[in-house]
Structure 1
Amino acid sequence: MNYDESRGAYDDPGHDHRRMGEATDPDGLDAHIAGLPYGVIAHETITRAPEAAAPTLPPDPQASEGPVPFAEPETEPLRGVPVHVGHHPPSYPPHPLGRPSMRDADAFAPFSPVVLLDGAQIGRLTVRAASVRGDSHNWEGSCRQDAMAVTRIGPPEAELLLLAVADGVGSALYSHVGSYQFSRLAAVYLDREAEGIHAALYARDEDELRVLATKAVAGAAAELRSGWARAAQHQPRPYADQDYATTLHVLLIPTDARIRDRVLCSVGDGGLFVLREGRWEHGDPDGGGELLDTRTEALPHAYRSVKATLLRTVPGEVLLLGTDGITNPLTQKDPEFARRLANAWGGPEVPSLSDFLWQAQTRAKSYDDDRTVICVWEEQA
Structure 2
Amino acid sequence: MLDGGEFGRLTVRAASVRGDSHNWEGSCRQDAMVVTRIGPPEAEILLLAVADGVGSARYSHMGSHQFSRLAAVRLDREAENLYAALCSRNEVELRVLATKAIAEATGQLRAQWEKVATSRGACHADQDYATTLHVLLVPTDSRVRERVVFSVGDGGLFVLREGLWEQGGPVDDGSLLDTRTEALPHSYRSVEAKLLRTEPGEVLLLGTDGITNPLTQRDPEFARRLAHAWGRPEAPSLSDFLWQAQTRAKSYDDDRTVICVWEKPE
TM-score, normalised to structure 1's length?
0.67
Counterpart for residue 4 of structure 2: 119
Which protein, 1 or 2, shows the higher relative CO under an 8 Å CA cutoff with sep ≥ 6? 2
Mapped contact 1:272–1:291 kept (Cα < 8 A): no
Question: Following TM superposition, by how much is the alpha carbon of 1:216 offset from its aligned partner in structure 2, in angstroms?
Answer: 0.5
Q: Establish whether residue 301 from structure 1 lines up as the match of residue 186 from structure 2.
A: yes
Counterpart for residue 50 of structure 2: 165
Counterpart for residue 290 of structure 1: 171
Counterpart for residue 235 of structure 2: 350
Query: Residue 365 of structure 1: SS of its match in structure 2?
Result: coil
Alignment-mate amino acid for residue 150 of structure 1? V
Q: Establish whether residue 238 from structure 1 lines up as the match of residue 119 from structure 2.
A: no
Counterpart for residue 76 of structure 2: 191
Q: Which consecutive unaligned segments of at least 5 residues does structure 2 have?
A: none
- CA deviations on 1:185-207 (whole Å, 9 max, x unpaired) are 00000000001000000110000
Question: Following TM superposition, by how much is the alpha carbon of 1:296 offset from its aligned partner in structure 2, in angstroms?
Answer: 1.6
- CA deviations on 1:54-77 (whole Å, 9 max, x unpaired) are xxxxxxxxxxxxxxxxxxxxxxxx
Residues 333/263 of structure 1: CA separation in 2 closer, same or farther (3 Å cut): closer
- CA deviations on 1:203-255 (whole Å, 9 max, x unpaired) are 10000000000010011111000000000012343101100000000000111
Q: Write out aligned runs for 1:189-338 (5 A).
A: 189-283=74-168, 290=171, 294-302=179-187, 304-338=189-223
C-alpha distance in structure 2 between counterparts of 1:320 and 1:333, whole Å: 16
Q: Write out aligned runs for 1:7-156 (5 A).
A: 116-156=1-41
C-alpha distance in structure 1 between counterparts of 2:188 and 2:128, whole Å: 15
C-alpha distance in structure 1 between counterparts of 2:172 and 2:133, whole Å: 13
Query: Residue 211 of structure 1: SS of its match in structure 2?
Result: helix
Mapped contact 2:233–2:264 kept (Cα < 8 A): no
2:63 to 156, 178, 183: 178
Mapped contact 1:264–1:291 kept (Cα < 8 A): no
Question: Following TM superposition, by how much is the alpha carbon of 1:363 offset from its aligned partner in structure 2, in angstroms?
Answer: 0.8
Alignment-mate amino acid for residue 51 of structure 2? A
Q: Which consecutive unaligned segments of at least 5 residues does structure 1 have?
A: 1-115
Misfit runs of 4+, over 3 Å: 289-294
Counterpart for residue 380 of structure 1: 265
Identify, as 1 or 2, the structure richer in helix.
2
Counterpart for residue 253 of structure 2: 368
C-alpha distance in structure 2 between counterparts of 1:291 and 1:202, whole Å: 26
Identify, as 1 or 2, the structure richer in strand.
2
C-alpha distance in structure 1 between counterparts of 2:218 and 2:198, whole Å: 26
1:339 to 224, 230, 245: 224
Residues 296/303 of structure 1: CA separation in 2 closer, same or farther (3 Å cut): closer
- CA deviations on 1:20-49 (whole Å, 9 max, x unpaired) are xxxxxxxxxxxxxxxxxxxxxxxxxxxxxx
Aligned-residue CA RMSD (Å): 1.6
Query: Residue 251 of structure 1: SS of its match in structure 2?
Result: strand
C-alpha distance in structure 2 between counterparts of 1:194 and 1:361, whole Å: 33
C-alpha distance in structure 1 between counterparts of 2:219 and 2:108, whole Å: 43
Question: Following TM superposition, by how much is the alpha carbon of 1:269 offset from its aligned partner in structure 2, in angstroms?
Answer: 0.7
Question: Following TM superposition, by how much is the alpha carbon of 1:304 offset from its aligned partner in structure 2, in angstroms?
Answer: 4.2
TM-score, normalised to structure 2's length?
0.95
Mapped contact 1:214–1:303 kept (Cα < 8 A): no
Residues 341/294 of structure 1: CA separation in 2 closer, same or farther (3 Å cut): farther
